[in-house]
Amino acid sequence: MKKKLVNLALMPVFVLFALSACSCGCVKDLPYMEPRPVLDLQEISVKQLRQGYEEGRFTVSDVVQGYMNRIEAIDRNGPRLNSVLRVNPDALKIAAELDAELKAGRSRGPLHGMPVILKDNIDSLDPMPTTAGATVLRDSFAPRDSRVARQLRDAGAVILAKANMSEWANFRASYSSSGWSGVGGQTRNPYVLDRNPCGSSSGSGVAVAASLCALAIGTETNGSIVCPSNNNGIVGLKPTVGLVSRSGIVPISFSQDTAGPMGRTVEDVAICLGALAGIDADDAKTLAADGNIHPDYAKFLKADGLRGKRLGLMKNLTGYHYRVDALMEQAAAFLKSQGAEVVEVDGPREGPIEEDSFQVMLYEFKDGLNKYFAGLGASAPVRDVAELLEFNKKDPVELRWFDQRLLEQAQEKGALDAAEYRKALQAMLKAARDEGIDKLLAEHQLDALVAPTGTPAWKTDKLIGDHFKGSSSSLAAIAGYPSITVPMGFIDDLPVGVSFFGRAWSEPLLLEIAYAYEQGTKHRRAPKYLVSD
């Protein structure tokens, strides 16, 4: 595959504003502009930003403006990644207030002044609608902050923007193109622009990879954090369901949904998790987190964290791509070299588990979405899924590329007291937990499980849809247990990741393992925005 290299990431922002990309990928119209100082935000970490604030080398306002410049130059112009739906009009005002606090000697903690992008299914009281990518919600403004937004705000983060996503978190159509929404169109992969970013947290993954923010928040029901992290060469953590509140997040599944941090390093993700975790009376799942919450997850990061660990390599989650398998073999060899013991194991057959999970999601999607619409009050554009289906039939965008079969199937389901629902829920949890992850870890005396996260990014195709070949997200997602993906290497120009997952509430252990792997391998590298011929 021949590619033309348009390495916009290496150009300063004052040059990027002058770029215009032609359809063949070349760069034209580059007039001379007087050089001026530019804050280099590419690949900068949370710790480096915090040190810059403390040393007075730059302000929160400088950083927010710098990221806004990058969004304009890279996301909306240049390679046109289309990862950001809206920039917060109040971002600079918030930054100025946080600068004043720092000047007065007050800091809210490690996230003070960190610009964060939210996936656009997470409610925020900032003057930006929450759309879940759907045109029906194009002008829907949340009546209150989600718990996630409130905790980030309290921790001193700047909610910088809302990210594009797979519409309705990719639970709408019989097939789809990940990263496409009726509101935002198609998000592009920053490594090779005609490749897919995966989803549904597509814009969150791309924005982090392209250094358009310090951190992003995604959500996952099954793969929606770890897959875009895989395709975009970043770190993504899907927490245990209940560690992070889902209040104010457009739902799919009460049993499987969770928000989680996405960043360029394990340390950044660990720092962010400390601000997100917490009990919320409005989310019953979080009550089980009592005693399992840590305000500081960065304290668990150890460079020698692999020593003495016993890890189960999931052989039944390999074999779908020989070059991914080759990278996994290299990863396993590295794990062993760092003092870990790696044993091959086979997990449960996922087909029946996934079918039960699908039935649960249909019931819970209808129930949860109807409740979300009701929570919007009189401003809700539709009252329920039935009205949503009718809206989409009349909309010129929504059914242009994809159907709404999953919405229709959800509407056909009854209430959550249905015997079919209760049976499927019990069966999926037993298979994924008692006879799945818990059994594997106990039988083989394992600390955690490991598998390749997925394949390299496929070419985006709105006519045929996504071309998945394999992934490892389902078992942890259906169990409601934590998983973290870290860059494992590259296949040609495309990144792939390795996932570590384990018992409920084992985030400290998984972060320790992932950090030691990351620090010893350093596979992460910035995208170059390649264009296929």
Tens digit of pLDDT per residue, the chain (533 long)? 444 445 544 444 433 333 333 333 333 333 323 334 469 999 999 999 999 999 999 999 999 999 999 999 999 999 999 999 999 999 999 999 999 999 999 999 999 999 999 999 999 999 999 999 999 999 999 999 999 999 999 999 999 999 999 999 999 999 999 999 999 999 999 999 999 999 999 999 999 999 999 999 999 999 999 999 999 999 999 999 999 999 999 999 999 999 999 999 999 999 999 999 999 999 999 999 999 999 999 999 999 999 999 999 999 999 999 999 999 999 999 999 999 999 999 999 889 999 999 999 999 999 999 999 999 999 999 999 999 999 999 999 999 999 999 999 999 999 999 999 999 999 999 999 999 999 999 999 999 999 999 999 999 999 999 998 999 999 999 999 999 999 999 999 999 999 999 999 999 999 999 999 999 999 999 999 999 86
Give the C-alpha separation, 142 to 306, whole Å: 44
Question: Which of 224, 255, 357, 471 is the catalytic position?
Answer: 224
Give the C-alpha separation, 60 to 439, whole Å: 48
Q: What three-state secondary structure class fits 503?
A: coil
E strand residue ranges, 375-491:
448-452, 483-491
Give the C-alpha separation, 150 to 144, whole Å: 9
Active site includes 107?
no
Q: What pLDDT was estimated at residue 200?
A: 98
CA atoms 12, 17, 19, 23: torsion sign: positive
Cβ-contact 484, 464 below 8 angstroms: no
Going along the chain from its start, the domains and CATH numbers come out as 110-524 (3.90.1300.10)
Give the C-alpha separation, 283 to 239, whole Å: 15
Q: What pLDDT was estimated at residue 460?
A: 98
Question: Which of 61, 83, 119, 483 is the catalytic position?
Answer: 119
Active site includes 28?
no
Question: Which of 200, 201, 211, 247 is the catalytic position?
Answer: 200
Active site includes 499?
no
Written as six digits, the tokens of 409 are: 């199937």
Q: What pLDDT was estimated at residue 350?
A: 86
